[in-house]
Amino acid sequence: MDTILTGIRVNGELTLGNFLGALVPMVRLANEHNKTHNINIFVPDLHTIISDVDGDLQKNIIKSVKYYLAAGLKVGGNVHFYRQSYVPAHSELNWILNCVASMGELNRMTQFKEKSEGKESVNAGIFDYPVLMAADILLYDARYVPVGEDQFQHLELTRNLAIRINNRFDEPIFTPPEKTEEQVKFMNLDGGIRIRDLQNPEKKMSKSSRAENSKIMLSDDPSVAAKKIMSATTDSLGNIKFDMFNQPGISNLLQIEALVNDVPLQEVISTWAGESHYGDLKKKVAESVSTFLASFQEELAAISEEAVYELLETGEAYVNEVADRKLEKVQKAFGLR
């Protein structure tokens, strides 16, 4: 059975970008494929500590699992939830992959460049981040890894490492994840998703942005979120069109409108084609986002902490066995066993 796998770091509250770009597509895929695929959803707690954690890490972990459940993920059967640090094989495989990945290829990672730019001192975890990510994926032979567009380069690296290792031995060891074009097709999206910063739509919406108006957090009061949408930066072309290059602000609003209402982007684009009043579009998106947040927050409050712990412990017992088997195969191939 093929595996679909993903994770979201838990440094603090999630933005609407993380939610719509990664969590919602995963929930949709998981519910569609849970009879025919393993669905691995994990909390990358080790990836989380590469940077400061806002609030209590344990609380953030529990909350992040609740997010999936509140977003409608159906549990049971082939669906496995787990914490990365509770499955030691991730760190073990990380080291072995470190001995295959090159400094040059890690130096080229855009996320590393962005996170280290202008900093006097950068921890080695930030540099090695994509290799641990490769271990997360390859341990389970995951073919599909739903992530936002900013992670595609890390997926390509994972694929390259798997192919490089397979070529070294007589028998293939890993299933490389599919190419990003195939991932996008599998996710049934028009392209990778990148929700933009509301004030500066050239950039992605990011947790680390200081300007409050630039990002919508899942914990935002719905009326506050609506105001943020109303103050979003647009352009002066006066034409509602999906064109990320020339009209990123307007395109971002169309994208958000489609995702929060779970309708195809093309449908939203057609509805607004030829319109020129940006205020009307903003009002509609503000309403959609606040309705969505109100119902999401209600769902979230109804999920107990005990239910989350039970889910994690069951998942960890299962995946530790799968991961240890794969790790042993790798250790044997490298002569360590």
d(CA 220, CA 35): 35
The residue number with the shortest CB distance to ligand TYM is 21
Please choose, out of 16-24, 66-74, 115-123, 314-322, the segment that lies near ligand TYM by the rule CB under 6 A: 16-24
Number of chain positions touching ligand TYM (CB under 6 A) = 24
Name the residue among 292, 326, 309, 245 with its Cα closest to residue 86: 309
| CA dist 65 → 62, 84, 88, 300, 305 (Å) | 5, 13, 20, 10, 10
Q: What is the CA radius of gyration of the chain?
A: 20
Q: In the set 29, 73, 79, 133, which binds ligand TYM (CB under 6 A)?
A: 133
Nearer to ligand TYM, 23 or 330 (CB): 23
Q: Does 151 bind ligand TYM (CB under 6 A)?
A: yes
Phi then psi for residue 40, to 5 deg, are -105, 115
N-to-C CA span, the chain: 27
The residue among 212 and 310 lying less far from ligand TYM, judged by its C-beta, is 212
Pattern of binders to ligand TYM over 164-193, x per CB under 6 A? -----------------------------x
Q: Which of 284, 174, 293, 277 is nearest to 224 (CA)?
A: 293
**DSSP H helical segments within 99-221, as ranges?**
103-107, 110-116, 124-138, 152-168, 180-187
Verify binding: residue 136, ligand TYM, rule CB under 6 A.
yes
Q: Is 47 in the site for ligand TYM (CB under 6 A)?
A: yes
User: Shortest distance, CB of residue 319 to ligand TYM, whole angstroms?
Assistant: 13
The catalytic residue positions are 115, 204, 207
CA-CA-CA-CA torsion for 115, 260, 264, 182, nearest 10 degrees? 30
The smaller minimum CB distance to ligand TYM, of residues 96 and 307, is found at 96
Least spacing, CB of residue 234 vs ligand TYM, in Å: 18
Contact of 14 with 23, CB cutoff 8 Å: yes
Question: Which of 18, 64, 251, 288 contacts ligand TYM by CB under 6 A?
Answer: 18
Q: Give the residues lining the site for ligand TYM (CB under 6 A).
A: 5-9, 17-18, 21-22, 44, 47, 133, 136-137, 145, 147-148, 150-151, 193-195, 204-205
